[in-house]
Structure 1
Amino acid sequence: MPSLVVSRRRLLVTGLVAPAAWSLAGCLGDDWSDLADVDLTLATGNPGGVFMRYGEALATVLARRLDGLSARTIATDASVENLRLVAEGGADLGFSLGDTASDASRGNGSFAEPLDVQALTRSYDSFVHLVVRADSRITAVKQLAGRRVGLGALSSGTRVTAERILGRNGLGLDDVSASGQSLQDDTAALEAGDLDAFFFVSGLPNEAVLDLSRRTTIRLVDLSESVDPMAETYGPEYVDGLVPASTYDLPDVVPTVSVKNYLVVSSGMSDDVAYAVCRVIFEAQDAIDRIAPGVPQPNLNAAIFTSPLDLHPGALRYFRERG
């Protein structure tokens, strides 16, 4: 599994670092950025996805700003895998779609029992992409019946959301020829004509979809009719969203389903480390943007809205200080 390792002393060095032993983390000194030796592992997502771009930039900036801290990122299938990694101690932080995180907190869907995870912050919002070639006749979800469709990797949040959208439109997995490939594989398959459509849930822009749009003219299918049925069945994690035409050089703005995102951590993370990470996330956004230009970043005004996940006490302390 690819990884990126960064530290205050050694930036961008590849290697393996065990997740931090939070019970051993020292208290913050007079300088909030001075931490006892701490190694962080960030579970991100698919190459070409915003989770990975933002996660790698965040890991680099954390290592630059926090003395005594090193960080690495690991590529994953994203939400479902990330939540399990954090709960089981395989990662210290992980990115997740809000709908998948909600399932994890309650022991629903992909999770047989509730997972011990908390939110560090709500991050940016993601948007459901249902991508087809520009010359495709597919203009609605119901027209995916009998088609070859990428639903996202099996341990991804995209898979959770895509199956729910199919269901709210009267389709089951038996009604499509479903692919469980990665985002990169799905973009290549659509370009080659081996897929008729694929789903992906991402912040804007998604680099893999953007690269595809530069090689092959694409469209995004309007998903506005799926929003209300999704919200009625699964909850307020699903709201209306719009993908601007300029994002992928589309003919027009595309209505779709939007899903909030969380950065999740174990409840065992020390309050000092959670506080310090939150402070970097919100006070070093210019530095993050220089590494990953245009990547969507958390908004302080929305950061505390992580229901049904509880905010980690260290994060709550930071947000209270900021008022």
Structure 2
Amino acid sequence: MKRLPWLGLAVALLASAAAAQQGGHAISTLALSLGTATPGGGFPVYGEAFAKAMNHKAMNDADAQLKILPRNTMGSNENIPLLEQGELDLGLVAGEPAYQAFMGIERPKTRLKILTAIFSSPGLFVVRQDSAYRSIRDLVGHAVVFGAKGSGLPIMSRYMLDGLGLKQDEDFEAIYLDRAGDGPAMVQDGRAVALWGAGTGWPGFHAMAKAPGGARFIAPSAEEIAQIRAKHSFLKLLTVPPNSYPGQSEAIASIGSWSYVLTRESLPDDVAYRLAKTLHGAEAALCTALAQACETTAANTVAAAPSLDLIHPGVLRYFREIGVAK
């Protein structure tokens, strides 16, 4: 049997076997690592809210404490191999790299499993309000920030542009970041004309929308959406609701995917069951803490998963108990 690296073992199921006495009952600590992404992106924000909701809920459990430990990483493309190597217990992964891993596209099929779908990620470009750019085609030949190097954002944009017959690294001066939070400043000071991002609570979009002069969002047109989905049908039609960002008064239709919390293959079924029960018992608290986390529901996970067998068996057992899966 393959031995887990020491870091994964340290934060895995039995990372802390010590028991503390509380009210006469022994409570064992279960510490689990959660890989997020680079500071300034949406995953670290979600990861902190997720951990806070899970850890607070766990403190009220009578039999055990769950402890979620968020950890900054380079994002989806690092979280997948770290999970596969057992160096993370849980990891946030965007829809496109998850899809590639599940389907075995340009790599062997992964054996990782879904704990939960976290939020939908409609993809958009944002430009300064005073710029002349109003369509995706207007951006061709210009410098565009496509996201952090290890994140799923550049993968989503690559699929979207390919559906339009465009090549990300040839038709644009593509910029990839070491830190997700560096993108808005590059558009504001003219080093780039646009920033690509996704979701309804993405920090880069907030920074652009709140900047002096405001911002304009650019999404594929209805005809372009149809063209993209004709080639890449796994991309879903998604909408950014009105007032998701300052100055954005109307809904914006686009394409995108659902992001997930994935688990390492070796996470025991009973642990996954407890995580699911704790998480979905804390849905209201998580929604209160972070608006986009309101989409983190059991029903959305069942709907968003490419197939039910990709959901962790322990999670699926809980979903069947509460009637959201057959």
1:151 aligned partner:
146
SS of 1:180 mapped into structure 2: strand
Aligned counterpart, 1:213: 209
**How many Å separate the matches in 2 of 1:47 and 1:17?**
22
SS at the partner of 1:152?
Answer: strand
2:126 pairs, out of 127, 131, 135, with: 131
Aligned-partner residue type, residue 44 of structure 1? T
Alpha carbons 2:121, 2:238 under 8 Å: kept: no
- 1:252 — aligned with what? 250
Contact 1:44/1:82 (<8 A) preserved: yes
Matches within 5 A, 1:44-59: 44-59=36-51
> Hey, what's the Cα distance between the residues in 2 that align with 1:88 and 1:17?
8
> Where does structure 1 lack aligned partners over 5 or more consecutive residues?
1-15, 27-33
> Is the 8 Å Cα contact of residues 289 and 295 (structure 1) preserved in structure 2?
yes
Selected match of 1:279 from 270, 277, 296: 277
The residue aligned with 1:42 is: 34
Give the whole-Å Cα distance in 2 for the aligned partners of 1:44 and 1:17: 15
Displacement, 1:321?
0.9
Could you tell me how far 1:44 is from its partner in structure 2?
1.6
Of 140-149 and 79-88, deviating more is: 79-88
Shift of 1:245: 4.2
Three-state SS of the structure 2 residue aligned to 1:302 is: helix
Separation in structure 2 between the aligned mates of residue 167 and residue 294 of structure 1, nearest angstrom: 28
* Structure 1: distance between partners of 2:103 and 2:244: 38
**What secondary structure, in the 3-state scheme, does the structure 2 residue paired with 1:151 have?**
strand
Gaps of 5+ in 2: 1-6, 18-25, 59-63
**Residue 87 in 1 paired to residue 84 in 2?**
yes
How far is the alpha carbon of 1:143 from its aligned partner?
1.9
Aligned residue identity for 1:148: A
Give the whole-Å Cα distance in 2 for the aligned partners of 1:122 and 1:140: 30
Instruction: Give the letter aligned to residue 47 of structure 1.
Output: P
- Is 1:174 the equivalent of 2:173? no
Question: Is the Cα contact below 8 Å between 1:165 and 1:226 reproduced in 2?
Answer: no
Q: How does 1:75-114 map to 2 (within 5 A)?
A: 75-109=72-106, 112-114=107-109
Contact residue 142 and residue 169 of structure 1 kept, 8 A:
no
Partner of 1:315: 315
Secondary structure (helix, strand or coil) at the match of 2:160 reads: helix
Go from structure 1 to structure 2 and tell me whether the alpha carbon gap of 1:242 and 1:65 turns closer, same or farther (over 3 Å shift).
Answer: closer
Deviation at 1:315, TM superposition (A): 0.1
Q: Which residue of 2 aligns with 1:31?
A: none
Aligned amino acid, residue 90 of structure 2: L
Relative to structure 1, is the Cα distance of residues 124 and 251 closer, same or farther in structure 2, using a 3 angstrom cutoff?
Answer: closer
State how far apart, in whole Å, the 2-side matches of 1:35 and 1:220 are: 50
* Deviation string, structure 1 residues 9-42 (Cα, Å, up to 9, x no partner): xxxxxxx88554448899xxxxxxx874322111
User: What is aligned with 1:238?
Assistant: 236
What secondary structure does 1:286 align onto? helix
Pick from 175, 181, 185: which aligns with 2:182?
Answer: 185
Match of 2:54 in 1: 62
State the match for 1:10 in structure 2.
none
Counterpart-to-counterpart distance in 2, 1:121 and 1:25: 25
Kindly provide the CA deviation profile for residues 41-62 of structure 1, in whole angstroms up to 9, marking residues without a partner as x.
1112343433222211221232
Question: How many angstroms does 1:272 deviate by?
Answer: 1.6
For normalisation by structure 1, the TM-score amounts to 0.83
Q: Measure, in 1, the Cα distance between the counterparts of 2:76 and 2:224.
A: 21
Residues 103, 109 of structure 2: 8 Å contact kept: yes
In structure 2, C-alpha distance between the alignment counterparts of 1:293 and 1:240, rounded to whole Å: 17
The alpha-carbon deviation at position 93 of structure 1 amounts to 1.0
Shift of 1:159: 0.7
How far apart are the structure 2 equivalents of 1:226 and 1:25?
Answer: 52
Q: In structure 2, what is the Cα distance between the partners aligned to 1:279 and 1:206?
A: 27
C-alpha root-mean-square deviation of aligned residues, in Å? 2.6
* 1:117 corresponds to 2:112: yes
- Contact persistence 2:124–2:219 (CA under 8 A): no
